[in-house]
Amino acid sequence: MSDQVERYQILGYKEALTRTHHYPVACKELSLILREAYSKLPKNLQSLVFQDTLSSFKLLPQMWTNNAVSAAHLLVQSAEATLPKQKKNVATKEFKQAMVASKRRGKACRMQECHTELAQDVLVDIFSLLDTRSLVSASLVSRSWNAAACNNHLWQSLYATIFASDHNSSNAKDLLNGGRGEDNKDNNSVDWREAFKRAYIDNSSKRLTTSRGYCLYCDMIVWLDGLKCGSGKCGPQPKMQPIVPKSSEQVVEYLLDGSSSMMSSDSDSDLDDCFDEWYIPKLWAHPLNQYRPG
């Protein structure tokens, strides 16, 4: 097995494409690989990239977001611009079939949703498993989902998970009081979603929204779940997150030559190209009341 094939397998597209929150990023990276690296890859690796491209289209009907559809559109455009004629025709046909199936499934699901409504406590339990971006997206679906996604305990848990090393309850209250340091001993009186929003603005939004990083413990590029290494190989981790955020461009660079300065983070200018619509860089750009009537 060549080094490039081994690095490609480490990047983990096969599994990432099955996950709704990773699917758009995986499609974007595959699109970049097609445009920037495909012609430089050995034949066996070209075959793997092509198969993952087809898999991404086959899995599209299982995705639920506009980002997924947009990412698939970007990928098919790269396939049409890069692949030889026969493979291009196969990829285009697979994409068109996936779009038809996706529209049919979406219509069927909307009809089913009209007759199905989960209890609020069940929704809250389910939403407790989501990362920040997914929770915000869920709040835009319907009134019922919005109410569950705004549950104060959910946001307190997210706040503790992401900002534990930088903030405590007193810091959160201080943020909400505009830095006045007013005394408030009751944690239940804290609007944790608003506290999270303030802390989010104060911190680097780029770090909070990236889906890729170099894990110091695994010594490789990994997919991130809730800002943590998703490889499952790290074991117990210390409070300080051992992750260096990486852009899609750096992932392609890593595939080609195994470098991309794994131990160092991107400069701000390099990151600007990475954190686009796929990463929802402005997490709070849409008010939570902008959901579809349910």
The two three-digit tokens of residue 209, written as one number: 């929204």
241-275 tens-digit pLDDT: 567 888 889 999 999 987 655 555 444 444 334 33
**C-alpha dihedral sign at 109, 56, 254, 266:** negative
Of the ranges 68-77, 87-96, 141-150, which one carries the lowest mean pLDDT score?
141-150
119-178 tens-digit pLDDT: 888 889 888 877 777 788 788 777 888 889 889 998 888 888 776 554 444 555 554 544
The number of beta carbons lying within 10 Å of the beta carbon of residue 127 is 18
CA distances from 197 to 56, 136, 159, 183 (A): 33, 11, 9, 21
- Judged on CB neighbours under 10 Å (0-12, 13-18, 19+), 194 is middle
The phi, psi pair for 41, rounded to 5°, reads: -90, 150
In which band, very low, low, confident or very high, does the pLDDT at 86 lie, cut at 50, 70 and 90? very high
- Overall average pLDDT of the 15-36 stretch: 93
213-245 tens-digit pLDDT: 888 888 888 888 766 787 777 765 545 556 788
Q: What is the pTM of this model?
A: 0.66
